[in-house]
Amino acid sequence: MKIAILSRNKDLYSTRRLIEACEQRGHEPMVIDVLRSYMDVVPSKPEIHFKGENLGRFDAVIPRIGASVTFYGTAVLRQFEMMGSFPLNESVAIARSRDKLRSLQLLSRKGVGLPNTGYAHHPDDVQDLIKMVGGAPLVIKLLEGTQGIGVVLAETKKAAESVIEAFMGLKANILIQEYIKEAGGADIRCLVVGGKVVAAMKRQALPGEFRSNLHRGGSASLVKITPTERATAVKAAKVMGLNVAGVDILRSDRGPLVMEVNSSPGLEGIEIASGKDVADMIIAFIEKNAKPNKTKTRGKG
């Protein structure tokens, strides 16, 4: 099969592993920088060009679209879908997952366990909002943040108020969330491929830090997940409409709580911690499912 990998850098661990897995399974991968792709949207004959060349048709496309290029990246992916390529994750599902509030609303509607979360626009509503999520300590998150940047733990009501006021003053979009203390600075990343959890790891924050992101110095290790955690991760990916997803779960006293569903999960941490060949499983999933025009939306979303 001809497989397009939408990635800005072919030397990134995840991209390299996907290229290797494609080649090992006898496919023809091509890495395409979405920001260097341009499109012809003429009726009935959509085309994608890259560095002066008409790319033609691919059997499948693996989107690895960074949060900062979601808008253009999903447009390019939609073009592939219009041309009948099978997308590992569909453009609509990626766009959905990039909106943290929309994601939490979808998950809550389907009864997936979540930390109590609030959102307000006007500073006058902050007092009541803090009460609604159960008071301090609480976590304040910038909606546009990634890798733990813009995630703040406010230990007291006063601290929470000043941080929220400061963010609102800067016109930043934020959400506030109950602090899950019993998670102990750890979270569980479940890698879901085709409705199954194929690998899982536990990320533990450094002492004195509550954010377990590997970019914040957290460490990854192999973890055995419970059947409830497994079912929660699978359901979260399904609700978001993602074939491949990294589902981040906090272990709370009332069971697993989903924090985030990532549509372009990194492979490095999870492959190393779990010893699993996730890239190979992703390509095997594509082999099983890629048929021409087999997207729900065909780029309509």
C-alpha 282/C-alpha 4 separation (Å) is 13
The amino acid sitting at 207 is P
Question: CB of 284: closest distance to ligand ADP in angstroms?
Answer: 28
Give min distance, CB of 38 to ligand ADP, in A: 30
Report the nearest approach of ligand ADP to the CB of residue 258 (Å): 11
147: tokens are 């890798």
Query: Per CB under 6 A, does 66 bind ligand ADP?
Result: no
Amino acid at 34: V
Name which position in 248, 271, 277, 280 contacts ligand ADP (CB under 6 A).
248
Q: How far apart are CA 20 and CA 117, in angstroms?
A: 41
Shorter beta-carbon distance to ligand ADP: residue 93 or 139: 139
The answer to whether the CB of 99 falls within 8 A of the CB of 219 is no
Containing H/E element for 221? strand 219-222
CB of 201 to ligand ADP, least distance (A): 12
Q: Does 211 bind ligand ADP (CB under 6 A)?
A: yes
End-to-end CA distance of the chain: 26
Q: How, if at all, do strands 53-54 and 47-50 pair?
A: antiparallel
Q: How far is the CB of 69 from ligand ADP (least distance, A)?
A: 17
Nearer to ligand ADP, 58 or 179 (CB): 179
Buried b / exposed e across 132-160, counting CB within 10 Å, b at 16+? ebeebbbbbbbeebeebeebbbbeeeebb
Count residues near ligand ADP (CB under 6 A).
22
List the interface residues with ligand ADP, window 177-196 (CB under 6 A). 177, 179-180, 183, 187
Tell me the H-state helices in 241-300. Answer: 268-274, 278-289
Q: Looking only at residues 136 through 175 of this chain, which bind ligand ADP when binding is defined by CB under 6 A?
A: 139, 141, 145-148, 151
Q: Residue 122 is which amino acid?
A: H
Burial bucket for residue 200 (CB in 10 Å: 0-12, 13-18, 19+): buried
Query: CB 274 → ligand ADP: shortest distance, Å?
Result: 17
Q: Which is nearer to ligand ADP, 48 or 130 (CB)?
A: 130
Smallest separation, CB 250 to ligand ADP (Å):
6
Which residue lies nearer to ligand ADP by CB, 78 or 251? Answer: 251
Residue 295 DSSP code? -
How many C-beta atoms lie closer than 10 Å to residue 281's C-beta?
Answer: 17
Per-position x/- string for 98-137, each x denoting binding to ligand ADP as judged by CB under 6 A, each - no binding:
-----------------x----------------------
- Binders of ligand ADP in range 256-285 (CB under 6 A): 259-260
Sheet with 117-118, side-by-side order of all strands: 117-118, 174-178, 138-142, 151-154
The nearest distance, CB 290 to ligand ADP, in angstroms, is 30
Q: Report if residue 14 touches ligand ADP, rule: CB under 6 A.
A: no
Candidates 132, 140, 61, 58; CA nearest to 94 is 61
Residues forming the site for ligand ADP (CB under 6 A): 115, 139, 141, 145-148, 151, 177, 179-180, 183, 187, 205, 210-213, 248, 250, 259-260
